[in-house]
């Protein structure tokens, strides 16, 4: 490899996690080793427009919370060529020109960013992308599908149910009564496809369930409902492709009723304990389950695996997997690896290396019968 690796840093996007993505991008841009990497920022506006690197760099250098469209719109666009032609800049009055990028590091969280859409687009464009591919991203994002696959692999999963909007609207009373009967109270309602705890509610009384479902269905057509376990929240970071490594375990001690969006990103009062206070046997079991969960969803590059450890019984349950964990200065994923002995800049370098390795490996597949 000659010269610096040009890293396309994608951020923003059309989901409710847009602001978190911008903060993550600032963290990554500030930690990439400038001797080894050249950052090519690409901001995605809320309406899906890709800004050119110059306009995107201005967003990262400032303190804006969102990637806003250019005003006035001069007609400039970044285009993705699905014929392995990479990314192309198109400006009125000028010939289209390629934007040289060796690998993409996307921190576009949520819908359209970590659900396989961007991953598939970049794969068709012939650009390696950090993290899971199309399949792993899609099933990691869908909590219902992920839980089914965990159960099929024999991993411990807490009591849960899924509900679609059409079934709920057909008979709300029956659907709500069925959830309470199956899971008891309290319970949690959450969009099946979502992150950063957006749209999640803790329901203590049956009378509060309709409003909680209404909120969750505002973010997705499908909702996952989980039994409200009295449990500690434990997380592990996973890094690798075919032979993933697992970090030490950490614990989230939320400042609120549960670890919601505000306690994650706004009030800063939740506490993180790294390493978590666990006996050696339990810590080893959780780390082993993290690796199994990573493999069960056919993931690559990185993931954060979240667990519940039930108070009183010590039972461990796999809660969910985040294939694009936050990279903000307070995010758990880089903190876990730092505690394990891998500093943030080296973690980013390793993720980029893993993306290029996996891309090269996949390109060895046969494309013709003869």
Complete DSSP assignment for 31-87: HS-TTTEEEEEEEE-TTSPBPPHHHHHHHHHS--SS-PPPSS----EEEEETTTTEE
Element (H, E) at 293: helix 280-296
Tokens of 152: 């099929």
- Counting Cβ atoms within 10 Å, is residue 79 exposed (0-12), middle (13-18) or buried (19+)? middle
Please, which residues have CB within 8 angstroms of residue 325's CB and are 6 or more apart in sequence? 237, 302, 303, 304, 331, 332, 333
pLDDT of the residue at 1: 43
Those residues of the chain that have pLDDT short of 70 are 1-2, 195-196, 255-269
Q: Tell me the Cα Rg of the chain.
A: 21
CA angle 198, 306, 282 (to 5 degrees): 155
Could you tell me the sign of the dihedral formed by the alpha carbons of 59, 70, 218, 9, in that order? negative
**CA-CA distance, 27 to 221, in Å (whole number)?**
32
pLDDT of the residue at 75: 82
Could you report the per-residue pLDDT of 18-53, keeping only the tens digit for each?
999 999 999 999 999 999 999 999 999 998 899 999
> Is the whole model's pTM more than 0.85, yes or no?
yes
Could you tell me the sign of the dihedral formed by the alpha carbons of 117, 118, 123, 128, in that order? negative
């Amino acid at each position: 490899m000659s010269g610096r690796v040009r890293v396309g840093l994608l951020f923003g996007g059309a989901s409710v996690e847009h602001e978190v993505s911008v903060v993550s991008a600032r963290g990554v841009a500030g930690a990439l080793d400038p001797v080894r990497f050249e950052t090519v920022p690409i901001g995605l506006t809320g309406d899906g427009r890709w800004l050119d690197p110059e306009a995107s760099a201005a967003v990262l250098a400032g303190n804006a919370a969102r990637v806003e469209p250019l005003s006035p719109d001069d007609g400039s666009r970044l285009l993705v060529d699905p014929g392995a032609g990479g990314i192309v800049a198109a400006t009125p009055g000028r010939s289209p020109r390629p934007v040289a990028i060796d690998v993409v590091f996307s921190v576009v969280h949520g819908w359209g960013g970590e659900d396989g859409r961007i991953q598939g687009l970049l794969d068709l464009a012939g650009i390696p992308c950090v993290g899971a591919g199309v399949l792993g991203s899609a099933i990691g994002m869908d909590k219902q599908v992920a839980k089914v696959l965990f159960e099929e692999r024999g991993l411990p999963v807490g009591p849960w149910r899924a509900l679609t909007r059409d079934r709920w609207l057909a008979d709300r009373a029956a659907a709500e009564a069925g959830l309470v009967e199956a899971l008891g109270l309290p319970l949690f309602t959450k969009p099946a496809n979502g992150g950063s705890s957006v749209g999640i509610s803790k329901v203590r009384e049956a009378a509060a369930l309709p409003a909680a479902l209404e909120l969750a269905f505002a973010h997705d057509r499908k909702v996952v409902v989980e039994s409200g376990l009295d449990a500690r929240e434990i997380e592990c970071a996973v890094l690798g492709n075919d032979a993933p490594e697992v970090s030490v375990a950490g614990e989230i001690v939320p400042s609120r009723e549960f670890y919601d969006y505000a306690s994650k990103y706004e009030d800063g009062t939740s506490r993180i304990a790294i390493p978590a206070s666990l006996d050696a046997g339990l810590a080893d079991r959780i780390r082993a389950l993290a690796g199994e969960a990573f493999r069960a969803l056919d993931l690559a590059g990185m993931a954060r695996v979240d667990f519940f450890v039930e108070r009183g019984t010590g039972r461990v349950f796999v809660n969910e997997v985040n294939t694009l964990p936050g990279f903000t200065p307070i995010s758990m994923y880089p903190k876990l690896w730092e505690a394990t002995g891998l500093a943030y800049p080296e973690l980013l370098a390793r993720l980029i290396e893993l993306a290029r390795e996996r891309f090269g490996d996949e390109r060895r597949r046969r494309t013709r019968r003869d």
